[in-house]
Copies of this chain bind each other. A is one copy, B any other.
Amino acid sequence: MATKQRFALLGSGFIGQVHAQNLAAHPLVELALVADPDTARAQAVADRFGAQVATVAQALNSDAIDAVLIASATPTHAELLEAAARAGKAIYCEKPIDLSLERAKRVVEKVLRFNLPVTVGFNRRFDASHQQLKQHLQQGAIGRAELIQMVCRSSAMPPVSYLQSSGGQMRDQAIHFFDLLRWLTEDEVNTIGALGAALALPEIATFGDVDTSVLIMQMNSGALAQLDNTRRTGYGYDERISVVGAGGMAESASQCPPGASLWQGSSVTRPGLWPDWFNRVKQTYYQHLDAFVRQLNGEPVSGLPGLIDGLQAQAIAEAAVLSLAERRFYQVEAVLL
């Protein structure tokens, strides 16, 4: 029989609280400890979900803890990953591993040696639509993937302060789709070309970032892919993927919340898209956690994003950054070596 996994939550900010709620709601999880340098925040989260406050060291040293969920600030991910691995805990780590691909590579190498269950926060793999898209592909409904089209459009510009430490649009936003592309096609990106500009907020060009970008990629199989990204749309959060093969097209389309429509004169007005990314994807955090917990309980679970997935997606992002800056095509392999 499945046993309850006792989790320590490391980090209790916005995304940490999302995870706290899911950990508390999961029937096979006990949210035992919450750690955060901001102890007042940790206390509030712990109180709300019946957990205790602890330091990271206490959490990692406690025998009563089976797993940690790392939801702390990005610069701490690498260190906490390594420490949790040394402590022998199962690990759910928010992406990215580290903004520096070099440092990410080093920590992954170390953590892999411990042979522990580790998953990296590419939660969008657990979106119901993308999951069915993957299923269609696996069942051969459209044949081999030949042409993949991905749209990744956020509704509202984040604050400039966020953008300055985000790693830029490729490493922060597009990275989810680099992972989805690999996961859906079970193939690797060979070549990438990117064009981008700071059209929505020109000032971010001063620190080398873009808010709008278009990318084309060729996979090792020869399949061709494209992705467009924008940081703000004016029409809600638009995320969709379609895959064309010789047998047709499988499509995970834009999602709109329920609502009423108005038929007037010669037009009909319907509810548009979800207002923001969080409303659109929040269920995927629970689904991802659930898959991880099932793995911890010994179920065979496929598609859980691991450390190597984290590295590969970052390598594509790195190549995209270089392509954007230098206006030439890049090989992903060259970046990974």
Name the residue in A224, A255, A270 with the highest tally of chain B Cβ atoms < 10 Å from its Cβ.
A224
Which parts of A181-226 form the interface with B (CB within 8 Å)? Answer: 191, 193-197, 199-200, 212-218, 222-226
Q: How far is the CB of A10 from chain B (nearest CB, A)?
A: 25
The answer to whether B269 touches A267, judged by C-beta atoms less than 8 angstroms apart, is yes
The answer to whether B223 touches A199, judged by C-beta atoms less than 8 angstroms apart, is yes
**In the complex, chain B residues whose CB is within 8 Å of the CB of A260:** 129-130, 132-133, 135-136, 250-253
Q: How far is the CB of A23 from chain B (nearest CB, A)?
A: 15
The answer to whether B218 touches A197, judged by C-beta atoms less than 8 angstroms apart, is yes
The residue of chain B having its C-beta at the shortest distance from the C-beta of A151 within the complex is B149
The answer to whether B216 touches A193, judged by C-beta atoms less than 8 angstroms apart, is yes
- A146-B230, A196-B224, A268-B270 known; A235-B248 Cβ under 8 A: yes
What mask results when residues 60 to 99 of chain A are scored 1 for a CB within 8 Å of chain B, else 0?
0000000000000000000000000000000000000000
Name the residue in A143, A217, A256, A267 with the highest tally of chain B Cβ atoms < 10 Å from its Cβ.
A267
Interface residue A298 (Cβ < 8 Å from any Cβ of B): no
The answer to whether B235 touches A265, judged by C-beta atoms less than 8 angstroms apart, is yes
Question: By the criterion of a CB under 8 Å from any partner CB, how many residues of chain A are at the interface?
Answer: 77
Q: How far is the CB of A66 from chain B (nearest CB, A)?
A: 22
The answer to whether A234 touches B265, judged by C-beta atoms less than 8 angstroms apart, is yes
Complex partner residue of A267 from B200, B223, B233, B270, CB under 8 angstroms:
B270
Interface residue A290 (Cβ < 8 Å from any Cβ of B): no
Task: In the complex, identify which listed stretch (A109-117, A167-175, A271-279) lies at the interface while the others stay far away.
Answer: A271-279
Interface residue A328 (Cβ < 8 Å from any Cβ of B): yes
What mask results when residues 293 to 337 of chain A are scored 1 for a CB within 8 Å of chain B, else 0?
000000000000000000000000000000000011100000000
The answer to whether B275 touches A262, judged by C-beta atoms less than 8 angstroms apart, is no
The answer to whether A215 touches B212, judged by C-beta atoms less than 8 angstroms apart, is no
* Bound Cα distance A163, B141 (Å): 28
**In the complex, chain B residues whose CB is within 8 Å of the CB of A245:** 234
Complex partner residue of A266 from B130, B146, B252, B271, CB under 8 angstroms:
B271
> What 19 new A-B contacts, CB under 8 Å, besides A195-B217, A195-B329, A213-B224?
A142-B264, A146-B200, A147-B212, A147-B214, A197-B224, A234-B248, A235-B263, A247-B264, A248-B262, A249-B263, A251-B260, A255-B258, A264-B272, A266-B272, A266-B275, A267-B270, A268-B271, A269-B269, A329-B329
Using a CB–CB distance below 8 Å, which chain A residues touch chain B? 127-130, 132-133, 135-136, 141-143, 146-147, 149, 151, 153, 191, 193-197, 199-200, 212-218, 222-226, 228, 230, 232-236, 238, 244-253, 255-273, 275, 327-329
